[in-house]
């Protein structure tokens, strides 16, 4: 199902944002509800209305920029919900806008199930998170937003994402502990992923680049902690870099055109269950970290 950009501006300036600068320069009017409705109707009639993941099965992702900054956001959510009954919808957000209780309540009323709110946390404390988000105070607002959403009966399911790169991967264990402590007893899933080398993430390569084998080592070291979540997923990690016990958490998180299976994958027994390598990562770093798995390795 497609990625649907709902707004092209953002109030965070995350160092690893995968959007290009050209995207933020598009006119705002492309994202108002009237245009969204025209595009969705075209898509439903089979036309090529969306450029990313257009025909991939799974959730419909309402993305940005920061979707909640669209002045039509709540009406847009209600529109997609009404027009796609029973389809899983996901909003990808920095979570800050939900620190406004009234806004969080209006969102929860519009975002009827099956609906997921995916919010990224970049570290276990304000200093770590805000350094990645590029905005002082972002951590406090994101946290308040999550707490408001969790406090609303019938609110959408929450996914908390931790996107790893050189600035924060060493703190993964502390971040997972913080999440567990802060949202004990709440229904949510945690997703840990390696960052994508696109947009600002590619431009900031010198600050962010870290081998997948290093972030996978941090994930492997956090295996016990991950086992303590009611649901955990790993995105963008080749199975051969993960401990056997963690491989079942790995999800093929990218469409076929965004990933590659280099030479070591040809002899690998796990290939059909594995995401392979992100295409930009392969271009920048090659496939030297991969090792074909034998037999029941997956």
Strand partners, 92: 118
**Residues in the chain, total:** 298
- What tokens were used for 116? 């997921």
For ligand SF4, the closer CB: 109 or 273: 273
Using CA atoms, how far residue 50 sits from 2, 4, 260, in Å, is 6, 7, 22
Strand partners, 5: 63
Asked if 216 touches ligand SF4 (CB under 6 A), the answer is no
How buried is 21 (Cβ within 10 angstroms: 0-12 exposed, 13-18 middle, 19+ buried)? exposed
For ligand SF4, the closer CB: 110 or 239: 239
Asked if 268 touches ligand SF4 (CB under 6 A), the answer is yes
Q: Which of 59, 92, 265, 278 binds ligand SF4 (CB under 6 A)?
A: 265
Alpha helix positions (H), the chain: 21-25, 33-44, 73-83, 101-110, 126-133, 138-150, 172-182, 199-203, 205-208, 212-221, 223-227, 279-285
Asked if 240 touches ligand SF4 (CB under 6 A), the answer is yes
Q: Which of 149, 264, 278, 280 binds ligand SF4 (CB under 6 A)?
A: 264
Asked if 234 touches ligand SF4 (CB under 6 A), the answer is no
Instruction: Report the interhelical angle of 172-182 vs 212-221 (nearest 10°).
Output: 50
CB of 246 to ligand SF4, least distance (A): 12
Asked if 293 touches ligand SF4 (CB under 6 A), the answer is yes
Q: Which of 14, 133, 210, 270 binds ligand SF4 (CB under 6 A)?
A: 270
Asked if 171 touches ligand SF4 (CB under 6 A), the answer is no
CB of 289 to ligand SF4, least distance (A): 9
CB of 61 to ligand SF4, least distance (A): 24
Please tell me the distance from the alpha carbon of residue 248 to that of residue 224, in angstroms, as a whole number.
14
Binding site for ligand SF4 (CB under 6 A): 238-240, 261, 264-265, 268, 270-271, 274, 276, 290, 292-293
């Amino acid at each position: 199902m497609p990625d649907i950009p709902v707004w092209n501006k953002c109030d965070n300036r995350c160092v690893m944002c995968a959007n290009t600068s050209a995207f933020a320069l598009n006119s705002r009017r492309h994202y108002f509800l009237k245009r969204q409705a025209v595009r969705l109707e075209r898509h439903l009639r089979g036309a090529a209305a969306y450029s990313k993941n257009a025909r991939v099965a799974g959730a419909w992702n309402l993305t940005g920029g920061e979707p909640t900054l669209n002045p039509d956001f709540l009406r847009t959510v209600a529109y997609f919900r009404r027009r796609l009954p029973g389809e899983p919808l996901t909003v990808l957000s920095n979570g800050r806008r939900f620190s406004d209780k009234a806004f969080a309540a209006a969102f929860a009323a519009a975002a009827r199930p099956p609906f997921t709110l995916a919010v990224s946390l970049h570290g276990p404390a304000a200093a770590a998170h805000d350094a990645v988000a590029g905005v002082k105070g972002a951590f406090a607002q994101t946290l308040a937003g999550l707490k408001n959403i969790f406090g609303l009966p019938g609110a959408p399911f929450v996914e908390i994402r931790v996107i790893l790169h050189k600035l924060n991967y060493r703190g993964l264990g502390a971040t997972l502990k913080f999440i567990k402590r802060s949202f004990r007893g709440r229904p949510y899933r945690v997703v840990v992923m390696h960052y994508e080398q696109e947009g600002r993430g590619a431009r900031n390569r010198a600050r962010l680049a870290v081998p997948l084998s290093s972030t996978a080592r941090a994930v492997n070291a956090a295996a016990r902690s991950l086992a303590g979540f009611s649901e955990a997923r790993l995105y963008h990690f080749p199975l051969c870099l993960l401990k056997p016990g963690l491989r079942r958490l790995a999800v093929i998180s990218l469409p076929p055109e965004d990933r590659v299976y280099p030479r070591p994958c040809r002899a690998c027994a796990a290939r059909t269950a594995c995401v392979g390598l992100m295409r930009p990562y392969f271009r920048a770093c090659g496939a030297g970290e991969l090792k074909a798995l034998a037999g029941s390795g997956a």
